[in-house]
Amino acid sequence: MKLVRYGAFGQEKPGMIDAAGKLRDLSAQVPDIAGKTLTAASLSKLKALDPASLPLVEGSPRIGACVGDVRNFIAVGLNFADHAEETNSPIPKEPILFNKAPNCIVGPNDDVIVPKGSEKTDWEVELAIVIGDGGSYIEEKDAMAAIAGFCVCNDVSERAFQIERGGQWAKGKGCPTFGPLGPWLVTPDEVADVQNLAMWLEVDGERVQNGSSKTMIFGVTYLVHYISQFMRLDPGDVITTGTPPGVGLGFKPPRFLKGGETVSLGIEGLGTQTQKFKAYQG
């Protein structure tokens, strides 16, 4: 299934994309694509529905973040071997974890605001995991069963805040609008090989990232297993898993976003995003 949330910010309704690519309303079945809706039992009921029986949504409504009411937005740093190489960083022995503020999440095509005082706002196309049943101490062999689905994330980052302001990565990762998610949450049964998906990002039409999830250092199931050793993963939690090479920080000289740019990105089978970056206006 491809699950979606649509409508005005903060008032999104749940939906499903049918085989013809049309948006169908799920409001009569579930309150939101969030929390307990993402458990295996709930998703199995949605899969049993005939999409043609659901109301067709007319027009072109705004598409919101594909998961709502996110409580934990966990990110993995330096998780692609070729990205670590471009930043002259050693290969991590264990996953590097940090948090993005859950309230930085926006829709896949919403504007992104370059924060006040920013000099080094950067882009990162990432594959995000959305947790289903979750739990603690999940075995790697059971990890896929704990996943509700996958989506595209732009892990927008302010590098000066992240690296030059005292060593806390969260400072440069959770600014308002720094977490576009979507357009869809794609359930695992529709993803043939999550460790072999093409990933790309363009700035003003120039392809700057062109990678694949196959170069991840720590794969999807290992990350779910690993993170669950340190915290309980709840339904609707999001884990964004790192980026391939081609970020602005890796250019020589580095390139950063000032506002006015259009950034487009996508992952094979998971859809695309397009954001207009705008300078903070106060």
268 within some domain: yes
- Do 35 and 235 contact (CB within 8 A), yes or no? yes
In a domain, 124, yes or no: yes
Based on the fold, state whether residues 22 and 148 are members of the same structural domain: no
Asked, as a colleague might, if the bond just before 92 is cis with ω within 30 of 0, I would say no
Looking at residues 84-105, what average pLDDT do you find?
90
Residues 95 and 13 in one domain: no
**Residue 146 and residue 37 in one domain:** no
SS3 of 103, please?
Answer: helix
Same structural domain, 150 and 13: no
Instruction: List all residues 6 or more positions away from 193 whose beta carbon is below 8 Å from its beta carbon.
Output: none
Residues 10-68 have pLDDT tens digits of 999 999 999 999 999 999 999 999 999 999 999 999 999 999 999 999 999 999 999 99
Q: How confident is the model at residue 94 (pLDDT cuts 50, 70, 90)?
A: very high
pLDDT computed for residue 129 by the predictor = 98
Q: What whole-number distance in Å separates Cα of residue 147 and Cα of residue 40?
A: 9
pLDDT in tens, 226-282: 999 999 999 999 999 999 999 999 999 999 999 999 999 999 999 999 999 999 998
Q: Is the pLDDT of residue 81 over 90?
A: no
Same domain, 157 and 41: no
Task: Give the helix ranges, DSSP H, for 144-274.
Answer: 159-163, 220-227
Residue 37 lies in a domain: yes
For 169-217, the pLDDT digits (tens) are 889 999 999 999 999 999 999 999 999 999 999 999 999 999 999 999 9
**Residue 176 sits in the same domain as residue 43:** no
Domain count within the chain = 2
Same domain, residue pair 104 and 222: yes
In a domain, 231, yes or no: yes
Q: Is residue 239 part of a domain?
A: yes
What are residue 46's phi and psi, to 5 degrees? Answer: -65, -40
Say yes or no: 9 and 103 in one domain: no
169 and 77 in one domain? yes
Q: Name residue 214's amino acid.
A: K
Which of 222, 215, 217, 200 lies closest to 270 in space, CA to CA?
Answer: 200
Please give the pLDDT value at position 118. 96
| Residue-number span of the structural domain to which 27 is assigned | 2-53
Note whether 106 and 214 are same-domain residues: yes
10 is a domain residue: yes
Among 177, 165, 87, which residue's Cα sits nearest to residue 119?
A: 165
Q: Does residue 60 sit within a domain?
A: no
Would residue 24 count as lying in a domain? yes
Is pLDDT at 167 greater than 80 in this prediction? no
Based on the domain organization, do 23 and 163 belong to the same domain? no
What per-residue confidence (pLDDT) applies to 14?
98
- The CATH number assigned to the domain holding 266 equals 3.90.850.10
Distance CA 136, CA 181 (A): 25
227 and 264 housed in the same domain: yes
- Model confidence pLDDT, tens digit, residues 115-165: 999 999 999 999 999 999 999 999 999 999 999 999 999 999 999 999 888
Statement: the pTM of the whole predicted model exceeds 0.75: yes
In this prediction, residue 101 carries a pLDDT of 97
